[in-house]
Amino acid sequence: MKRLALVLTALLAITGCTTTPSASRGISKNEVGLQMFMWNWESVGKECKANLGPAGFDWVLVMPPQNHIDVPQWWSHYQPVSYEIESRLGTREQFAQMVSDCKSAGVKIIADAVINHMVGIRAGTAWTGEKFVKYSHPGLYTSDDFHPGRLPIGNWSDQNQIQNYELLSLSDLATEQNDVREKISRYLNDLLSLGVYGFRIDAARHIPAADLQWIKAGLPANTYFLQEVAGDEHPDITEYYATGDLWEFDWPRIMKKAFGNNLGAANLPKRLKSAKLLDSDKTVTMVTNHDTERSGEAITTKDAMVQQLAFIYTLASTYGKPMMYSGYSFEDRDQEPKLLSDGRVADPVCPAIDSVPQASYQILQFTCQHRWKAIAGMIAWRDAVGDAEITDAIGRSGVLSFGRGATGHIILNGTDKPIETTVQTQMPAGIYTDAISGKSITVDEIGKFTVQLEAKSAAAISGRSDVR
Ligand code: LAG
Ligand code: CA
């Protein structure tokens, strides 16, 4: 939503008002995010300038930036050994350069903060070469800094176990202790000093909400938290509203039900009405993240057209703040992308054709969904329709269409077959450019237009794309 922000800033300058919209932090509804899974720092910086800024992305979630256990699997980054900003993904300097490159392209960086735990292996070597044993990280944590139970979480309806036992046998930090929380705050403040906008709080469900409040109080008042609280009643998710936003983990499941089969799309409005979703303004929506991509709960690039359709819907929806996803294909869930001989993560190589979904991707190919032109088109569409309410919603035979008053209209073909269809809109007559295909769409005098849609594809028009 860059253009709008620039207009607002200009208006504020004219009216002599000195606070810019970014002064009230957080992520707004019309800001679009992207998780870049396993992209190294240098490549994220380049991508911000070349593609993400121009496409209108507002924020990027990057991998955990801290020192980690030296095993090849991608999840080594989720086992911190120290809070030094050195990893397989780059050096501290490269991290800082990425933040500044992205900032200059209008893209904020949200860093993944792994603060619930340290390592899950008995002993080993860190990326930086230092040795550690579980519960002992010289110069940082000693055994008193971890919860004493040292048992894996066994009962997932017991909040005490969820928060004080070990998630996946990872040594659980005693985040209720002030010296532990202070060290975490110091780490987060260090990242803020490099210019990050905020944090994804990894495993937030396993940290008491009160501890996160304490940690957040030690950071500048406007720091943004996006908290990973999967699960339902334990703990009560809404306890975390006080510290920031949350992901809605039902969203990927609902997207899969709606678009993962032939006729599901038409029922989507009904399904959403009966779903108990989190408060829209506290929620980030995603089609997938790196975990659901591996768990079978979400649509993946194995069905890239279907995933694109779900991205399109998520961007068109009035619910939540959308986050897109960009990762790599794999056959084994633990598999890391290509590493260089010195262990660093190699620069991602996008598919030769990266503007549209591909029927298949080679194993370990970076999939680069953020370069699909439909996503950039829909980010612009989302900006154009702004806060307009949903109107004219129709779901029939696997096809869903709705308007946003007179500002825009979208139609999604969730079926496995091409269709031709005519829709009634509130749009003024004119020739528009389809945000997805770039083709022209003519709205007639009574507000109707006719389109042909391939299987699992969509068309969207907005006032901004009026070509006359
Ligand atoms: C998360 N959110 O709360 C991350 O999104 C998720 O990807 C992390 O798990 C998890 N929490 C812990 O930060 C990932 C992998 C796990 C991996 C873990 C630690 O999905 O597979 O566990 O990171 O590296 C691995 C092994 C486990 C083992 C554990 C400890 O798969 O079998 O118990 O390491 O050695
Ligand atoms: Ca914990």
Residue nearest to atom 11 of ligand 1 (CA): 203
Work out the number of other CB atoms within 10 angstroms of the CB of residue 128.
13
Residue 228 in contact with ligand 1 by CB distance below 6 A: yes
Q: Catalytic residue at 444? A: no
Bridge partners (DSSP) of residue 443 are: 430
Q: Does the model's pTM come out above 0.85?
A: yes
Residues in the chain: 468
Q: What is the DSSP letter of 251?
A: H
Continuous segment of H or E residues that includes residue 193:
helix 178-193
Give me 79's structure tokens.
């086992």
Residue nearest to atom 21 of ligand 1 (CA): 75
Work out the number of other CB atoms within 10 angstroms of the CB of residue 429.
13
Q: Is the dihedral of CA 23, 57, 64, 159 positive or negative?
A: positive
Residue 28 in contact with ligand 1 by CB distance below 6 A: no
- The most distant pair of C-alpha atoms in the chain lies apart, rounded to whole Å, by 74
* Exposure string for 5-23, b = 16+ CB within 10 A, e = fewer: beeeeeeeeeeeeeeeeee
Q: Phi and psi dihedrals of 366, rounded to 5? A: -70, 135
Residue 114 in contact with ligand 1 by CB distance below 6 A: yes
Q: How far is the CA of 325 from the centre of ligand 1 (A)?
A: 19
Nearest atom in ligand 1 to 167's CA: 12
Give me 425's structure tokens.
């809109």
Which pLDDT tens digits describe the chain residue by residue (468 residues)? Answer: 654 444 444 444 444 344 444 445 799 999 999 999 999 999 999 999 999 999 999 999 999 999 999 999 999 999 999 999 999 999 999 999 999 999 999 999 999 999 999 999 999 999 999 999 999 999 999 999 999 989 999 999 999 999 999 999 999 999 999 999 999 999 999 999 999 999 999 999 999 999 999 999 999 999 999 999 987 677 889 999 999 999 999 999 999 999 999 999 999 999 999 999 999 999 999 999 999 999 999 999 999 999 999 999 999 999 999 999 999 999 999 999 999 999 999 999 999 999 999 999 999 999 999 999 999 999 999 999 999 999 999 999 999 999 999 999 999 999 999 999 999 999 999 999 999 999 999 999 999 999 999 999 999 999 866 554
pLDDT score for 22: 42
Residue 436 CA to residue 236 CA, distance in Å, equals 39
The per-type count for the chain, helices as H runs and strands as E runs, is: 12, 18
Q: Are strands 391-396 and 59-62 parallel, antiparallel or unpaired?
A: unpaired
CB 132 within 8 A of CB 80: no
Q: Catalytic residue at 202? A: yes
- The domains of the chain, with CATH numbers, are 2-247+328-367 (3.20.20.80), 391-465 (2.60.40.1180)
- Mutate which of 75, 76, 295 for ligand 1 pocket (most atoms within 8 A of beta carbon): 75
Q: Rounded to a whole number, what is the distance in angstroms from the first to the last CA of the chain?
A: 23
Q: How far is the CA of 210 from the centre of ligand 2 (A)?
A: 12
Q: Are strands 321-326 and 33-36 parallel, antiparallel or unpaired?
A: parallel
Q: How far is the CA of 174 from the centre of ligand 2 (A)?
A: 7
Residue with tokens 């509804």: 29
pLDDT score for 281: 96
Q: Which amino acid is at 81?
A: V
**What tens digit of pLDDT does each residue of 15-71 get?**
434 444 444 579 999 999 999 999 999 999 999 999 999 999 999 999 999 999 999
Residue 169 in contact with ligand 1 by CB distance below 6 A: yes
